[in-house]
Structure 1
C-alpha cells in the first residue's frame, strides 16, 4: 500500500492512504474544483457571486444547480433538520460539497486500482472518512470517535467493513456553534456510519441540528448507525453502533 498523502483544502486537512502519486494529484484536483465553485470565502467562486447578487442561481452551471437540488432533497428527507440556507437566506452548500468531493475522490482511487476497484484505500477529510478494502491483511479500517468534552480521549472505535464504508462526525467541540440548529441544543456531537459518505455527512449534521425525535426518525429505517453525544452527557447509540462505544460506566441509551 502507498504511504500517507496530506494536503489542505476547504478549511481542513485531507489525508489519503493507498493512493499513488498520480491518483493523489487527481484527488487534489477534485477537492480544488469543488472549493473553487462553492467556497463562500472565495469572492470569485460561483456561489459567492450568487450570494453577492452578481449571478442568479438559474444562470449558474448545471452542476451547481444539481448540487443545490441535492441539498434541497436532503432538507426534505430530514424534515428540515438539514438545510442549504443560512439564517440570513444565503445559499451555503458546504453541508454536501465536502462529502461529494470525498465521494469523487473515492472514484479516482477506484479507477487507479488496476481498473477493478478492489484496491485498499482511505480518504479522510475533516471528520469524514470513506474507505475501501482493508487496512492490512484482513483487518478492517478503523476510525476513532473522540469524546467531545475530552478531546484527548477516544471513546469508541468504528470498524468499517463493506457495505458500511463511510463514517462522518459533526459537532461543536472543535469549531464551536457553526451548525444552524432548529431546536435547543440536544446533541453536541454525532457520528454516523453509512454505506455512502454523503448520507453519513448530511445525517451527522442533521442529528446535531435537531433533537431526540429527529434522531429517532432519521435512524428509523436502519439504513445507518449513529453514536450521538447529548448536551447532558448521555451517549445515544443505535443497536448496530452500541458495540463501537465505550463509556466509563459502560452505559448508553438505545435509539429505538
Structure 2
C-alpha cells in the first residue's frame, strides 16, 4: 500500500508492502513528522525555532528535544570541519539541515516498532527503507539537477545501505553556505546506512567540495554521487574514492 501526505513543506510518500496496515500506524507516522514541524519549523511564527531565530526565546530556554538536536548538529559541524553548520552566517540557529532526516528516522522507528517487514519512506527525495527480500533490493531514483522530471541515476540499496539523501541548488537555489568558494558541486547524493548521516553529509559535501567528499567516504563509509558545476558526474565509494 502507499500513503501520501504533506508536511514540513514537502510531500511524504510511504510505501508499505503489507496490505493490512493499521490506520493508527499511519496516523502515528504523520504525527511524528508533525511534531518535528511544530518544534523546528522557522516558517511557523510561534514555533520554538522561529522564536529562537528572532530572539524571543533563548536556546537555553528551549525544550530538551530542541537542545538535543542542536547538540547533534553541532557535533556534525565539528566532525565535518564546519562544512555542515547549524548556524546561518549571521549566527542564527538553523537546524533545517538535520531535522527532516530526524523526522524520517522517527517515522522509520514507528514502522519497525510495529513489526512492518518491508517499507520505504520518501520525504521530498530523501529516502529511508526497511526490509527487503533477498535479490529484490529497494531501488531509488535520483533526479537530474537540470530537470527534476528526469532521472540522473538509480541506486539499488544493497547490504547495509538503507538511506539516500540529496542536497543541491536546482530547486532551492543557493541555500547552503559554502566553504569551498568555487562552488564545486551543484548536487550531491549520499547513500548510507542511516538517514541522518546521509542527509548531513550530502549538505556537507555540497558546502565543502572535494575534500569533504573524500572525508565523508573514508570516515563514514558512504557512497557519493555528485554533479559538478560543469555537469560532470563524480561517483565515489569506500573502495573507489579516487575522483
Which residue in 1 is equivalent to 2:10?
Answer: 12
The answer on 1:255 being equivalent to 2:242 is yes
Q: In the alignment, which of 175, 181, 185 is matched to residue 178 of structure 1?
A: 175
Q: Distance in 2 between matches of 1:104 and 1:71?
A: 17
CA displacement 1:142-199 (0-9 Å, x = unmatched): 0012221233332311111341101101111112111121222100001100100000
CA distance in 2, matches of 1:52, 1:147: 36
1:41 is paired with a residue whose SS is coil
Question: Residue 147 in 1 paired to residue 144 in 2?
Answer: yes
Map of 1:98 onto structure 2: 100
What's the TM-score, normalizing by structure 2? 0.92
Determine which of 200, 205, 229 is the counterpart of 1:202. Answer: 200
Distance (whole Å) between structure 1 residues aligned to residue 63 and residue 233 of structure 2: 43
Q: 1:188 aligns with which of 182, 186, 189?
A: 186
Q: Does 1:61 align with 2:63?
A: yes
The 3 A distance-change label for structure 1 pair 157 and 51 is same
Gaps of 5+ in 2: none
Matched-pair contact (CA < 8 Å) for 1:225–1:241? no
Matches within 5 A, 1:222-233: 223-233=221-231
Equivalent position of 1:161 in the other structure: 158
CA positional deviation for 1:47:
1.3
**Separation (CA, whole Å) in 1 of partners of 2:165 and 2:22:** 24
**3-state secondary structure, aligned to 1:220:** helix
Change (3 A) 1:239 1:72: closer
Pairwise CA distance, 1:59: 1.1
* Residue correspondence of structure 1 range 27-42 to structure 2 within 5 A: 27-42=29-44
Tell me the number of residue pairs that the alignment of Structure 1 and Structure 2 aligns. Answer: 238
* TM-aligned CA distance change 1:90 to 1:222, over 3 Å: closer
- TM normalised by structure 1 equals 0.88
Distance in 2 (alpha carbons) for counterparts of 1:232 and 1:188: 9
Structure 1 residue ranges without an equivalent (≥5): 243-253
CA-CA distance at 1:49 after TM superposition = 1.1
Deviations 1:110-164 (A, max 9, x none): 1112xxxx61001110121000112x77411100122212333323111113411
Q: 1:222 to 1:110 in 2, by over 3 A?
A: closer
| 1:75-104 deviation per Cα after TM superposition (whole angstroms, max 9, x unaligned) | 011110000001121101111111011001
